[in-house]
Amino acid sequence: MIAVDTNILVYSHREDAAFFNPALATIITLAESDVLWAIPWPAIHEFLAIVTNPRIYTPSTPMEDALLQVGGWIACPSLSLIGESGEIYFQYLAQCLRASRTTGARVHDARISAICLSHGVDELLSADRDFSRFPGLKIRNPLV
């Protein structure tokens, strides 16, 4: 299964983003294929926080439009929304944190990695190089 990180979601939504076209093409390809793909719930939360923030985007996306975007992704039959679930998630989180010696703000990235690993994700699509520090999860930047 392939998972999609926040930055790809944001770029695919914001027409004024530098990587809008390749990010949108990535999401469309996933949505129109039979390939199972996933979005971690924290990426949804972060997407909503970023695109509606007027300090990041002027004008920012109205919350209702951002929610409609998320609803559009959720309507895709091949999409799974994945999140923390049980002891197995914690085992992957601890593994990610220990192996990478992650602390502070980067714990969020370890959280995304652990969610993906605990749900059997093989590959995470992200433009964030920080994910390479977590073992067991292949990271691919579809924007380059």
Q: Which domains does the chain have, with CATH numbers?
A: 2-140 (3.40.50.1010)
pLDDT attached to residue 71: 98
pLDDT at 40: 98
Query: Distance between CA 54 and CA 44 in Å, rounded?
Result: 18
pLDDT value of residue 45: 98
Strand duo 79-82 + 37-40: pairing? parallel
State pTM to two decimals.
Answer: 0.95
Q: What is the pLDDT of residues 52-108, one digit of tens each?
A: 999 999 999 999 999 999 999 999 999 999 999 889 999 999 999 999 999 998 999
The H or E element that residue 124 is part of is strand 123-125
Give the per-residue pLDDT at 75.
96
